[in-house]
């Protein structure tokens, strides 16, 4: 009986040691997972300083980290949720769980950051709509997904505002502001045209006046030269230009 009692105590101690060992291992694995999750948050905050990085508290249903993407003017463009895993083997149940979290947290993209990749995946990729990557790949993958969300948001915004812009343009073209602006432009051109016509009339008047004066001077000069030649005869030197007919002189002076 004493021997049997001793054996039972020994077995009880062994069982307790096994239980403590499992608890220690579970605690160690949990601690390792929490450390990876903490470093993941720090990495995201350092990489995307203007985005919102939120930790999901323990005991709260959902992914581990929520990443709200913002563009360069602070506009929210979408959400990425992260599930951090640090175990020896990959479990497909994580994918189903994260799909539910994706709908529950109204996110756009879900990403599992895991130490052990699926057997048929050597690097990051997508499975059943859920992105999967290792911790060493998470920075590059997060940048890629974030950039995609911003571009999709810009395209959607442009499409949404297209109808509003057409209506705004129509209202402007049919409104008083556009009419007043056009009237101001036409009035400006009309005033410029009137000023140009006045300048043209004044200039033509001056040209005609000078033309008459020049014609008169030439006529008098020719007449004086003719009188002198008539008195002096050949003793007066010949001036070929003055010997030219008057009409030709006037044409030379006033070419069309």
Q: CATH number of the domain that 108 lies in?
A: 3.40.1350
How do the pLDDT tens digits run along the chain, 256 residues long? 778 777 787 887 777 777 776 665 555 555 565 788 888 899 999 999 999 999 887 667 778 899 999 998 889 999 999 998 888 889 999 999 999 998 888 899 999 999 889 988 888 999 999 999 998 899 999 999 999 999 998 888 877 766 666 777 777 777 777 777 777 887 887 888 888 888 888 888 888 888 888 888 888 787 777 777 777 766 667 776 666 554 544 455 455 5
214-230 pLDDT per residue, tens: 888 888 787 777 777 77
Is residue 114 situated within a structural domain? yes
Provide CB contacts within 8 A for 19, sequence distance 6+: none
- On whether residue 103 sits in a domain, the answer given is yes
Domain boundary among 116, 136, 158: 158
Same domain, residue pair 52 and 117: yes
* Bridge partners, residue 127, by sequence: 130
Residue 149 phi/psi, 5-degree rounding, is -65, -40
Same domain, 49 and 99: yes
112 lies in some domain: yes
* Domain shared by 152 and 208, yes or no: no
Based on DSSP, count helices (H) and strands (E) in the chain, helices before strands: 6, 6
Q: Which of 158, 180, 203 is the last residue of a domain?
A: 158
Question: Where on the phi/psi map is residue 233: left (φ > 0), alpha (ψ -120 to 50), or beta?
Answer: left
Residue 75's domain comprises 36-158
- Whether 204 is in a domain gets the answer yes
Q: β-pairing, 65-70 with 109-114?
A: unpaired
* Structural domain includes residue 16: no
Structural domain contains residue 164:
no
Q: Are residues 41 and 94 in the same domain?
A: yes
Q: Are residues 46 and 140 in the same domain?
A: yes
Q: Residue 249 has what pLDDT? A: 47
Contact status, residue 117 vs residue 134, Cβ threshold 8 Å: yes
Mark which of 139, 158, 177 sits at the end of a domain. Answer: 158
Q: How far apart are CA 80 and CA 62, in angstroms?
A: 12
Q: How many angstroms separate the CA atoms of 252 and 256, rounded? A: 9
Query: Is residue 21 included in any domain, yes or no?
Result: no
* One domain for residues 198 and 127: no
CA–CA separation, 9 vs 247, rounded Å?
148
Classify residue 226: in a domain, yes or no: yes
- Can you give the pLDDT at residue 1? 77
How many domains in the chain? Answer: 2
């Amino acid at each position: 009986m004493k021997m049997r009692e001793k054996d039972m105590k020994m077995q009880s101690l062994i069982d307790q040691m096994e239980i403590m060992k499992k608890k220690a291992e579970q605690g160690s694995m949990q601690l390792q997972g929490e450390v990876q999750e903490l470093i993941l948050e720090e990495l995201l905050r350092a990489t995307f300083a203007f985005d919102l990085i939120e930790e999901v508290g323990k005991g709260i249903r959902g992914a581990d980290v929520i990443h709200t993407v913002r563009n360069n003017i602070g506009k929210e463009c979408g959400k990425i949720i992260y599930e951090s895993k640090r175990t020896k083997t990959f479990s497909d149940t994580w994918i189903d769980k994260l799909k539910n979290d994706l709908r529950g947290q109204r996110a756009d993209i879900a990403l599992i950051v895991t130490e052990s990749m699926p057997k048929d995946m050597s690097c990051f990729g997508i499975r059943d709509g859920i992105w999967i990557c290792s911790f060493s790949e998470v920075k590059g993958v997060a940048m890629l997904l974030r950039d995609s969300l911003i571009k999709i948001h810009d395209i959607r915004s442009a499409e949404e505002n297209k109808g509003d812009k057409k209506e705004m343009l129509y209202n402007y073209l049919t409104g008083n502001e556009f009419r007043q602006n056009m009237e101001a432009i036409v009035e400006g051109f009309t005033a410029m045209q009137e000023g140009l016509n006045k300048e043209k009339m004044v200039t033509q008047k001056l040209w005609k006046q000078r033309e008459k004066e020049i014609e008169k001077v030439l006529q008098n000069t020719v007449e004086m030269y003719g009188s002198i030649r008539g008195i002096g005869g050949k003793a007066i030197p010949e001036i070929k230009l003055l010997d030219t007919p008057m009409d030709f002189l006037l044409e030379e002076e006033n070419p069309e």
